[in-house]
Amino acid sequence: FAGKGIKKRYKKISQKEIEKRALKISIAAIKYSMLKQHPNKNIIFNKKEALNFEGDTGPYLLYSYARANSILKKSNAKISSKTKDLEQKEIELMKELSKFPETIINSCKSLNPSGIANYSYHLAQVFNEFYHSCPVLNSENESFRLSLVAAFKQVLKNSFDLLGIEALDEM
């Protein structure tokens, strides 16, 4: 099922690479689907829902990570923390990124990984809103926005590491 999604997006990719990516996406889908649930709840696993590339799923998170990676690879500009005026979506992304340490502490204290999983999903949503509202490449604030993309990528990677999910640089 994940392989079909990859084939649809990438026409020139080897079967071996499709299988490799599909396995990672499938594992991420299963892990995320389980870990996003509170430990005291019954879990009903729906394969089709878990493998969806949109919504509160592991593949959606992997896709967001791969998008950030792609932006960083395409840019020739240097990352900088300097900017003129901040857009609302830039501020929202910075605020969400700043919540990561507290999220980890709370998840550890409660022995509940769903806090990290749900934070990751919300962070990806905020990042995608930022990406759609604020052009990164070739913009006046490209260097600063690249720093936000790099910060998002790092925080999401850290979340993946805590959840046992392997990040994909390309979907």
Task: Look at 10-24, 65-79, 127-141 and tell me which has the smallest mean pLDDT.
Answer: 10-24
- Contact at 8 Å (CB) between 149 and 72? yes
Dihedral sign, Cα of residue 57, residue 59, residue 64, residue 68: positive
Residue 25: HSE in the Cβ half-sphere, 13 Å Cα cutoff: 29
Mean per-residue pLDDT, 58-64: 94
pLDDT at 7: 58
Report pTM: 0.86
Burial code of 113-131, b = ≥16 C-beta within 10 A, e = fewer? bbbbbbbbbebbebbbebb
Q: Residue 143: exposed, middle, or buried by beta-carbon count in 10 A (0-12, 13-18, 19+)? A: middle
pLDDT at 11: 60
Q: Which two tokens stand for residue 138?
A: 């070739």
- Cα–Cα distances in angstroms (integers) from residue 55 to residues 5, 6, 123, in the given order: 15, 17, 12
Which range is most confident: 8-12, 78-82, 102-106?
102-106
Q: Which two tokens stand for residue 96?
A: 């969400």
| Radius of gyration, alpha carbons of the chain | 17
pLDDT one-digit tens code per residue, 95-154: 999 999 999 999 999 999 999 999 999 999 999 999 999 999 999 899 999 999 999 999
Which has more pLDDT, 71 or 45? 71
CA 161 to CA 166: how far, in whole Å? 7
E strand or H helix at 53: none
User: In this structure, what DSSP letter does residue 87 have?
Assistant: -
Q: At what angle do helices 15-35 and 114-133 cross, to 10 degrees?
A: 120
